[in-house]
């Protein structure tokens, strides 16, 4: 769950005491915690690519092309949901199991699951592991690291289990006990990890996602709740469990909850208004179905990727808003992608302060440090530049309309997985671009730069004269 700057000084050697052998080995190879997270995602993708390439993974019993395997493995590990082949019709139960494992590993994180071993054995978690966990969960320090990871793992498995039970009440009667239970577990994990992978191809047709359940409030409600909970972030969980009062919550948690609620509500009302009479989306539904499906559309754009509406049939205004919502994504330390809700909140507060001519960014008598404001602006600018470059590249490479290309790239960078129907027709070059965008969207561009680009984090000892530049 690495999306922002983690803790720990890059390049600093980790102590040899305590911790698991894997983390200790990597630490001895001069891996900083942030780099460890990035490399672990890459390792999971490569292993998943190899397993999906095997004939046992495909229903036709043949070797699957490497690029298709790499695309699918990246999408699963980066919990995106974009696919070149239908997950139910193409992959065997073994292949589906590999995809599910990658989703869980990508959602929870390799470091978190490695930390589960000493917790189960009741062994002490060493400093090297604590540094890696703090980086994975985007914590500002190592205090309470063990408690956070324990609650995160317990909460994840508990919520996924509850979601599977609720979905089983619908899937078991439809598909029988064996397939029904498997579908319930798969979709519960996929929804909570905001992956968007589905197995409904055999039931409602290839690439149909949840369109066949647009009239089922239990399925949509369960999936929607799992998406929101997975996208809030483990720190927010911990804060809510500890304080259980809005006034006692941290500034960050209140900002995340407020921005999340505003985005879901705003998107819901916008889609209702924009698509109410569109016969290709909401137009043919009853009023109640319109309300429910518009709400689900707003929720799934928070990096989930499940679809009940034909995204290619959205009106241009609704599609444009979808791009914005996908780029914002979920919250730091969660299973979601995007620039994150807190980043969007800091940008809006900074914008308001700038318009009022204020030197400090202040909200509710709390000052947001200039370093955080600069990080938010840097992240947003980099993501915007990558988004524009990727969209233009897809348009030039494959000749697709710019809005469809922008939708696809935003979906990849926000690890959403929704598409306007162009994914399967992308050229190998465009597929490579989408793979890169999914990976950067999952690990975070700032985290990637810290892991591999920044060599010296020491303060610059030289101070140069300042210069005034006219702005505006």
CA dist., res. 423 & res. 430, Å (int): 9
Q: Characterize 420-456 residue by residue with b for buried, 16 or more Cβ atoms within 10 angstroms of its Cβ, and e for exposed.
A: bebbeebeeebbbbbbebbbbbbbbbbbbebbeeeee
Place of tokens 């020491």: 458
Q: Which residues pair with 362 in a beta bridge?
A: 367
- Cβ-proximal residues to 399 (8 Å cutoff; 6+ apart), any chain: none
Task: Specify if 460 maps to a domain.
Answer: no
Task: Specify if 1 maps to a domain.
Answer: no
**Span 202-259, pLDDT tens digits:** 888 889 999 999 999 999 999 999 999 988 877 787 788 888 788 888 888 888 999 9
Report whether 94 contacts 56 (CB < 8 A).
yes
Query: Which pLDDT does position 457 carry in this prediction?
Result: 52
What is the SS3 assignment for 366? strand
Query: Which pLDDT does position 329 carry in this prediction?
Result: 87
pTM: 0.86
What is the SS3 assignment for 340? coil
Q: What is the DSSP string of 49-78?
A: HHHHHSGGGBTTSSPPPHHHHHHHHHHHHT
Range of the domain at 296: 21-452
Burial degree of 102 (CB within 10 A; 0-12, 13-18, 19+): buried
Report whether 415 contacts 326 (CB < 8 A).
no
Report whether 121 contacts 19 (CB < 8 A).
no
What is the SS3 assignment for 207? coil
Task: Specify if 471 maps to a domain.
Answer: no
Task: Specify if 335 maps to a domain.
Answer: yes
Query: Which pLDDT does position 244 carry in this prediction?
Result: 78
Task: Specify if 336 maps to a domain.
Answer: yes
Q: What is the DSSP string of 418-465?
A: --SS-GGG--HHHHHHHHHHHHHHHH-HHHHHHHHT----SPP---PP
Task: Specify if 29 maps to a domain.
Answer: yes
Q: What is the DSSP string of 134-166?
A: HHHTT-SSSTTHHHHHHHHHHHHHHHHHHHHHH
Give the torsion through C-alpha atoms of 443, 445, 447, 452, to 10 deg: 110
Q: Which helix (H) or strand (E) holds 196?
A: none
Tens-of-pLDDT digits for all 472 residues of the chain?
Answer: 333 333 333 333 333 333 444 444 444 445 466 677 788 889 999 999 999 999 999 999 999 999 999 999 999 999 999 999 999 999 999 999 999 999 998 887 655 555 555 555 565 655 555 665 555 555 555 555 666 777 778 888 899 999 999 999 999 999 999 999 999 999 999 999 999 999 999 888 889 999 999 999 999 999 999 999 988 877 787 788 888 788 888 888 888 999 999 999 999 999 999 999 999 999 989 999 999 999 999 999 988 889 999 999 999 999 999 999 999 988 877 777 788 888 898 999 898 888 888 878 887 778 888 888 888 898 899 999 999 999 999 999 999 999 999 999 999 999 999 999 999 999 999 999 999 999 998 887 766 665 565 555 555 567 778 776 766 6
> How many domains does one find in the chain?
1
What is the SS3 assignment for 305? coil
Query: Which pLDDT does position 122 carry in this prediction?
Result: 60
CA dist., res. 23 & res. 27, Å (int): 6
CA dist., res. 253 & res. 402, Å (int): 36
For 144, 195, 432, the CA distances from 265, given in Å and listed in that order, are: 33, 22, 35
């Amino acid at each position: 769950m690495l999306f922002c700057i983690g803790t720990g000084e890059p390049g600093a050697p980790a102590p040899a005491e305590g911790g698991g052998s894997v983390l200790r080995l990597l630490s001895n190879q001069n891996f900083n915690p942030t780099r460890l997270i990035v490399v672990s995602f890459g390792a999971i993708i490569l292993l998943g690519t190899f397993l999906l390439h095997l004939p046992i993974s495909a229903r036709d019993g043949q070797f699957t092309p490497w690029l298709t395997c790499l695309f699918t493995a990246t999408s699963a590990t980066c919990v995106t949901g974009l696919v070149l082949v239908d997950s139910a019709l193409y992959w065997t139960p073994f292949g589906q199991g590999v995809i599910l494992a990658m989703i869980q590993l990508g959602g929870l994180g390799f470091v978190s699951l490695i930390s589960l071993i000493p917790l189960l054995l009741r062994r002490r978690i060493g400093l090297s592991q604590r540094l890696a966990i703090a980086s994975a969960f985007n914590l500002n320090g190592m205090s309470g690291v063990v408690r956070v990871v324990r609650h995160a793992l317990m909460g994840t498995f508990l919520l996924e289990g509850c979601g599977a039970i609720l979905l089983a009440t619908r899937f078991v009667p439809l598909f029988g006990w064996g397939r029904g239970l498997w579908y319930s577990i798969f979709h519960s994990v996929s929804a909570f990890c905001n992956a968007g992978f589905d197995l409904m191809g055999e039931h409602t047709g290839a690439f149909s996602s949840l369109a066949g359940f647009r009239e089922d409030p239990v399925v949509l409600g369960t999936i929607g709740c799992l998406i929101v909970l997975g996208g809030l972030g483990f720190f927010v969980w911990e804060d809510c469990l500890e304080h259980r009062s809005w006034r006692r919550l941290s500034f960050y948690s209140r900002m995340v909850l407020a921005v999340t609620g505003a985005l879901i509500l705003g998107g819901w009302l916008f889609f209702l208004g924009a698509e109410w009479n569109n016969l290709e989306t909401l137009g043919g539904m009853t009023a109640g179905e319109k309300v429910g499906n518009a709400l689900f559309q707003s929720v799934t754009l928070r990096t989930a990727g499940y679809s009940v509406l034909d995204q290619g049939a959205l009106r241009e205004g609704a599609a444009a808003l979808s791009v914005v919502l996908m780029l914002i994504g979920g919250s730091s330390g969660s299973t979601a992608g995007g620039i994150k809700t807190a980043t969007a909140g800091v940008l809006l507060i900074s914008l308001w302060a700038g318009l009022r001519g204020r030197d400090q960014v202040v909200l509710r008598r709390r000052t947001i440090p200039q370093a955080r404001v600069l990080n938010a602006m840097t992240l947003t600018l980099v993501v915007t530049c990558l988004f524009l470059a990727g969209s233009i590249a897809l348009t030039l490479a494959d000749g697709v309309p710019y809005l469809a290309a922008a939708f696809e790239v935003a979906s990849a960078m926000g690890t959403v997985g929704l598409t306007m129907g162009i994914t399967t027709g992308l050229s190998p070059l465009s597929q490579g671009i989408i793979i890169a965008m999914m990976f950067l969207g999952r690990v975070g561009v700032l985290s990637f730069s810290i892991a591999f680009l920044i060599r010296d984090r020491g303060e610059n000892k030289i101070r140069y004269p300042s210069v005034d530049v006219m702005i505006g």
